[in-house]
Chains A and B, each alone.
Chain A
Amino acid sequence: GNSVTQMEGPVTLSEEAFLTINCTYTATGYPSLFWYVQYPGEGLQLLLKATKADDKGSNKGFEATYRKETTSFHLEKGSVQVSDSAVYFCALIIIQGAQKLVFGQGTRLTINP
């Protein structure tokens, strides 16, 4: 089946620290990969995406590279800010199959000033 596994949280960092949130996936087809962010009390916002192997998605200083050989899509940011505190979800979708997003369990990130 299709599944997404994220690193266990919560993660607490100081402002300007380097961030990595690990994400690995299992898929029966050729997935597109996504990172969504959920701020307190809000719905999900699409942060970035990659649709094929070796693609790099980027947005707001965040980056993630689609690694088919390691089935990974790790989220990185060079210098985090307090405003980045949120829950981050890695997700996949199989275009040729079920048109549904499969999410990881989420990683809560807290940035301290």
Chain B
Amino acid sequence: DAGVTQSPTHLIKTRGQQVTLRCSPKSGHDTVSWYQQALGQGPQFIFQYYEEEERQRGNFPDRFSGHQFPNYSSELNVNALLLGDSALYLCASSLGGASGSGQFFGPGTRLTVL
């Protein structure tokens, strides 16, 4: 049973560029949440997708956008990259939009902006 997978593992970009990160949820899960974890900090919620709709958003600018596909996989897009966007981006999946049972995390994508 595959867990949550993310690609790529590492990514290096320069300021002003655009990046797309990908996530496949755990088998049987239909909800995907994205988090940003800066070095030495706890993860911060970016947004959540359920039934291909963004259902909840954290305090992140519109440069951060996403998409969920019919197979429940998801993409996170960041435009006009800033140095401060350097972080570990975590994808988490859960079932049925309700996360009371906990969310399952992927290994993350390490983004470095130069």
Chain A residues at the B interface, C-beta cutoff of 8 Å: 4, 32, 34, 36, 42-46, 49, 51, 89, 91, 93, 95, 98-106
Q: Chain B residues near A106 (CB, 8 Å)?
A: 40-42
Task: Give the complex CA separation of A93 and B101 in angstroms.
Answer: 10
- 1/0 contact trace for B29-43 toward A, CB 8 Å? 001010100001111
A43 x B105 contact (CB < 8 A):
yes
The CA of A95 and the CA of B44, in the complex, are separated in Å by 18
Among candidates A42, A46, A91, A100, residue contacting B58 with C-beta atoms closer than 8 Å: A100
In the complex, residue of chain B having the shortest beta-carbon distance to the beta carbon of A102 = B45
Q: For the complex, what is the distance from the CA of A111 to the CA of B26, rounded to whole Å?
A: 32
Q: 11 other contacts beyond A95-B99, A100-B56, with CB at 8 A cut-off?
A: A43-B4, A46-B103, A49-B102, A99-B97, A100-B58, A101-B33, A101-B92, A103-B42, A103-B43, A104-B42, A105-B40
B61 in the interface (beta carbon within 8 A): no
The count of chain B contact residues (Cβ–Cβ below 8 Å) is 31
Distance between B4 CB and nearest chain A CB, rounded to angstroms: 8
Given contacts A43-B106, A45-B105, A99-B55, contact A93 B100 (CB under 8 A): yes
> With a CB–CB cut-off of 8 A, which chain A residues contact B31?
99
Which of chain B's residues 1-25 have a Cβ closer than 8 Å to chain A? 4, 6
- The B39-66 residues at the A interface (CB cut-off 8 A) are 40-45, 48, 50, 55-56, 58
